[in-house]
Amino acid sequence: MKTKRKVLQFICPTGFYGAERWVLALAKHLDPETTACDLAVTMEPGQKPLELVNEYKKLNLPTHIIDMKNKFDLGAVDRLATLIREQNIDIIHTHGYKSDIIGVLAAKRAKIKCVVTPHGFENAKDFKLKTFIWLGCQSMRFAHKVVPLSQQLMQDVLRIGVKPQKTLYIQNGVDLSEVEAEPIPARADPHKKRIGFVGQMISRKNIRDILDIFDALHKAHPETELILLGDGDARKELELHSQSLASTDAIQFLGFRDDRLSLLKSFDLFVMTSTLEGIPRCLMEATAASIPVAAYDIAGIDQLISHEETGLLAPLGDKETLKAYWEKLLYDQAFASQMAENAKKFVYDNYSAQRMAAQYSDLFEEMTKDS
């Protein structure tokens, strides 16, 4: 008979994006008979209530708040270690640079094992942020297991210096049932062609290219509109840039929305111009919603989209080619529908949350055998 183990998912949320939704999907699909799965999140002064916590509570699973006096409050390490002891946690599972630093240190103090799952790496330019990211990467070397979501991320962690014997590849999985459950909304103007993006507005998402490509497209196709969902530290700059474009009246920045999936299902085309990715959940959701995809051909995205099989991929930075691909998918309906159908089948066949959770359960069992 399997022994029930207690795992603590730990994350420092920046919103309710891919990593946060991934944590929720894993917790939802772990077998409660063998794994108790708590959640701990950090809370900084003035931070808004966290959607992840609300959604986690809906699963009737325990949640814990680690208060932080500021963004870099290392006192959180002791508070997290205390929580680990009080709740008799066997394994802490961390997600993100800050949670990796705090979680690895807390695990060491509490004398438990730590699993780190990298969700992606940031190509930041700011020196302070670069230093912080470097510290987060270094902390992975002291985890008991590092479990990347993609083969590219596996190469990245090995390059950082994580020992191969400390790594394990578990392919990303996502709970797509909520996408299926969302009805297709009615469109106010069915003659408009709606291009959309969902995700964080941060540097590596390279959303400025989306704006520039759309501006060029809109000159030839004024019936198009661009919908951008999400938030982040680059949003203000992007909004200012959009106001300088001729197409500005056809561009909407909607921020974080509770009706995200309904809006996603209203898109005629889902676009990405990221320079760096893990395996983006938003892209999985778009394919599950049968929305055709055009993006730059980079590691991570190429795990989900194969050129001219499940979508269209342009070389990184080639805005002219990507614009042509947008046009192809917007105005060749038969081709776009075939790409969308192929992509949906591929994601459902290869990226189920159930399969991913079963593999994590095996890992957690292996790590607690001698406890």
- Mean pLDDT for the chain overall: 93
pLDDT over 70 (residue 371): no
- Judge whether residue 223 has pLDDT over 60: yes
Predicted pLDDT at 124:
62
| 21 neighbors 198 (Cβ within 8 angstroms) | no
pLDDT above 50 (res 2): no
Return the closest-CA partner of residue 157 out of 122, 131, 102, 118: 118
Distance of alpha carbon 230 from alpha carbon 207, whole angstroms: 11
Categorize the per-residue pLDDT at 123 as very low, low, confident or very high, splitting at 50, 70 and 90.
low
pLDDT in tens, 293-352: 999 999 989 999 999 999 999 999 999 999 999 999 999 999 999 999 999 999 988 888
Residue 187: is its pLDDT beyond 80?
no
* Residues facing residue 313 across a β-bridge: 295
Share of the chain above pLDDT 90, in %: 75
**Whole-angstrom distance, CA of residue 113 vs CA of residue 97:** 18
3-state secondary structure 290-345: CCCEEEECCCCHHHCCCECCCEEEECCCCHHHHHHHHHHHHHCHHHHHHHHHHHHH
Please name each of the domains of the chain with its CATH number: 5-173+352-367 (3.40.50.2000), 177-350 (3.40.50.2000)
Answer whether residue 101 shows pLDDT above 90. yes
Question: What tens digit of pLDDT does each residue of 21-41 get?
Answer: 899 999 999 999 999 999 999
Q: What is the mean pLDDT of the segment spanning 213-217? A: 98
Assess contact for 21 and 200: CB atoms under 8 A.
no
* pLDDT value of position 72: 83
- pLDDT of 181 reads 84
Beta strands 113-116 and 145-146 are parallel
User: What region, left, alpha or beta, does residue 68 occupy, with left being phi > 0 and alpha being psi -120 to 50 degrees?
Assistant: beta
Q: What does the DSSP assignment read for 348-361?
A: HHH-BHHHHHHHHH
pLDDT at 130: 75
More confident residue, 163 or 190: 163
User: Please, are residues 91 and 364 in contact by the beta-carbon 8 Å criterion?
Assistant: yes
| One-letter amino acid for residue 152 of the chain | Q
User: Residues 298, 301, 307, 312: is their CA dihedral positive or negative?
Assistant: negative
The DSSP-derived string for 253-269 is: EEES-TTHHHHHTT-SE
233-284 confidence digits (pLDDT tens): 999 999 999 999 999 999 999 998 888 899 999 999 999 999 999 888 899 9
Instruction: Provide mean pLDDT across the span 30-53.
Output: 94
Q: What mean pLDDT comes out for the span 225-234? A: 95
In this structure, what DSSP letter does residue 196 have?
Answer: E
Q: How confident is the model at residue 1 (pLDDT cuts 50, 70, 90)?
A: very low
What single DSSP character describes residue 60? T
